Structure 1
Amino acid sequence: MDKLKEMIIEKGEIREGNILKVDSFLNHQLDTQFLYEMGEEMYRLFKDQEITKILTIEVSGIAIAIMAALVFKVPVVFAKKTESLNLDKDVYVGKVFSYTKNKEYNIMISKKYLNSNDKLLIIDDFLAEGNAMKGLIDMAKQSNAEVKGIGIAIEKGFQKGGKILREEGYNLKSLAIVDEMKNGSITFREVD
């Protein structure tokens, strides 16, 4: 998606530790019109997969997932990172190691929102090592739902997450793949 690449170059910041900061439009301040265009692109990529629900993880994946869900006309289910009094006790639990926070935590989804009839599109803002995806896929397996696709806004192609998921046979599509971040510049991989 050329517009996403342009936004990354124009508004993104490269930080120490292979961090790409895109909070001015994607995961802190939200450019809603652009996010809707990303949702439309997710629909274009996965429209033939008979998606019944979109699955994501809080917090940054929610905005993109909602925009895609508007186009697909399906619900969004998001995994919660913290327990709360209003979360059901009967939950699927997955483990996620956060690359940016350098810690492992549990994610949870109420069992009443995922089941064997679901055909899932998993959406997230970033894919690096694939840890969030592993946790979400694990919960999809626990529920016997079928993962029909994985849609990522920005994949860090120089990290192993995308390669592993593709080798495992997942239908993974990224709107932009960053192959290198070096000396303040970004090199993108061509994507379909």
Structure 2
Amino acid sequence: MRALEEYIKRKSSVLSEDVIKVSSFLNHQVDAGLLTVLGQEMADAYRSRHITKILTVEASGIPIAFAAALAMDIPFIYARKSKTITQTDAFTSAVQSFTRKVTYQVSVEKEYLAATDRVLIVDDILAEGAAVRGLIDIVGQAEATLVGVSVAIEKSFQSGRKWLDSAGIPVHALARIARMSAEHGIEFIPSDYGGW
């Protein structure tokens, strides 16, 4: 998606060959206009797939999941990184954060995810895929149907996309980064809709 690629070129910072900072528009300060467009793009890609729920993980995935859910007119759920006193019965999975180097037990209350649901996992960035794997585990525990994964930015040179492809899970990335460095900038791969 050219608009997102332009935002990334203008407003991100490449901190290393593995780390890109998109805090000014995507996952700390959020550009609501851009997120509205990204959510609509995700909705358009999955409109015929009869999604009933969007699932993400707190906190970075929440804005884009909200935008996609709003465009699809369906609920979204976010997996919590810490248990609350109101949480009684939940699906849980361990997720290692790529940027924080911490493992979280994420959870979704069972009353919000059912075997009848058709789930789209949405996140801001796909790198090694740890968060997505944890969410896939939760969808499996609920015996719901995983329809696919949609992300704003995919770092294609890391293992997340390869793992999802090998598992036969459709991936829709709005911007795919082939490589990046502070010296040479960012090179993109043309985005696709996962081949369906």
Tell me if both proteins adopt one fold, taking TM over 0.5 as the criterion: yes
Mapping of residues 173-184 of structure 1, within 5 Å: 173-182=172-181, 183-184=183-184
Q: Is the 8 A contact 1:131 1:161 kept in 2?
A: yes
Q: CA RMSD in A?
A: 0.9
* Aligned equivalent of 1:51: 51
* Aligned equivalent of 1:72: 72
* Aligned equivalent of 1:153: 152
For residues 83 and 21 of structure 2, what CA distance do their matches in structure 1 show?
28
* TM norm structure 2: 0.95
For residues 80 and 105 of structure 1, what CA distance do their matches in structure 2 show?
9
Is 2:58 the counterpart of 1:32?
no
Higher mean C-alpha displacement, 123-132 vs 178-187: 178-187
Aligned AA (1:119): R
Mapping of residues 83-122 of structure 1, within 5 Å: 83-86=83-86, 88-122=87-121
Q: Which residues of structure 2 form unaligned runs of 5+? A: none
For residues 177 and 12 of structure 2, what CA distance do their matches in structure 1 show?
12
Aligned AA (1:91): A
SS of alignment partner, residue 26 of structure 1: helix
For residues 81 and 188 of structure 1, what CA distance do their matches in structure 2 show?
31
For residues 99 and 7 of structure 1, what CA distance do their matches in structure 2 show?
22
Q: Is the 8 A contact 2:17 2:179 kept in 1?
A: no
For residues 24 and 8 of structure 1, what CA distance do their matches in structure 2 show?
10
Is 2:9 the counterpart of 1:9?
yes
Aligned AA (2:41): E
Pairs aligned (count): 191
Aligned AA (1:124): D
Task: Give aligned-pair identity as a percent.
Answer: 40
Q: Is the 8 A contact 2:96 2:103 kept in 1?
A: yes
Q: Which residues of structure 1 form unaligned runs of 5+? A: none
Aligned AA (1:140): V
Q: Is the 8 A contact 1:52 1:74 kept in 2?
A: yes
Deviation of 1:184 after TM superposition, in Å, equals 4.4
Deviation of 1:84 after TM superposition, in Å, equals 1.8
For residues 102 and 143 of structure 1, what CA distance do their matches in structure 2 show?
27
* Aligned equivalent of 1:172: 171
For residues 112 and 71 of structure 2, what CA distance do their matches in structure 1 show?
20
For residues 29 and 121 of structure 2, what CA distance do their matches in structure 1 show?
22
Aligned AA (2:65): A
SS of alignment partner, residue 92 of structure 2: strand
SS of alignment partner, residue 24 of structure 1: helix
Mapping of residues 180-191 of structure 1, within 5 Å: 180-182=179-181, 183-191=183-191
For residues 70 and 84 of structure 1, what CA distance do their matches in structure 2 show?
26
* TM norm structure 1: 0.97
Deviation of 1:16 after TM superposition, in Å, equals 3.1
* Aligned equivalent of 1:140: 139
SS of alignment partner, residue 139 of structure 2: helix
Higher mean C-alpha displacement, 13-22 vs 144-153: 13-22
For residues 163 and 83 of structure 2, what CA distance do their matches in structure 1 show?
30
For residues 17 and 100 of structure 1, what CA distance do their matches in structure 2 show?
13
Give 4+ residue runs of structure 1 displaced > 6 Å after superposition: none
